[in-house]
Amino acid sequence: MRWWWWIPLMLFAGFLGVAAYQLTQPKDDFVPSAMVGKPLPAFELPAAADGMSGVSTADFQDGKPRLLNIWASWCLPCIAEAPQLEQLKQDGAEIVGIAIRDRPEDVAAFLARHGNPYTRIGADDLSQVQLAIGSSGVPETFVIDGKGVIRYQHIGDIRAEHVPILLEKLREAGE
């Protein structure tokens, strides 16, 4: 028996080792925004529903830190995070929303059913603002400081354990 007959098996064992290791690793699919630490891009969005105001970059430059929540009425995780947004609002956070590719009547129905934690909601019908601030999905939440600089990005729905983190980031942004 010659040793080189075993080479294929050895190579395969190496592959198995790497593959098995990778399978046990948590898969990190999040795409962090390169915009964190940079000012918001200039934009001006019309209101996403009747009776709400639209959103523009100028709204973030009055010295008060805010949360910017990217969401949509058609997005299921957005329903899941609605109670946490309500909690954040009660804890004093001001939340500005941007609705992605949505219809005014759907936005209104969503707010009626799941509550309205937003002070303003802009309609981003072509995801242009979403892409410009480096968000790759819904929901995502950004912490914007009083000068309109993006300070923190939260990807995915906000769970109960994320609420204190976001409040802390908001407090840091206000310092």
Chain residues that interact with other proteins, rule: CB under 8 A: 1-2, 5-6, 8-9, 12-13, 15-16, 18-23, 25, 27, 29, 74, 101, 126
45 or 149: whose CB is closer to other proteins? 45
Whole-angstrom Cα distance, residue 146 to residue 10?
A: 59
Least distance between other proteins and beta carbon 2 (Å): 6
Beta strands in 5-127 (DSSP E): 44-45, 55-56, 66-71, 95-100, 118-124
139 or 148: whose CB is closer to other proteins? 139
Whole-angstrom Cα distance, residue 109 to residue 125?
A: 18
12 or 38: whose CB is closer to other proteins? 12
H helix count then E strand count, the chain: 5, 7
Least distance between other proteins and beta carbon 65 (Å): 31
Six-digit token string for 53: 């105001």
Least distance between other proteins and beta carbon 28 (Å): 9
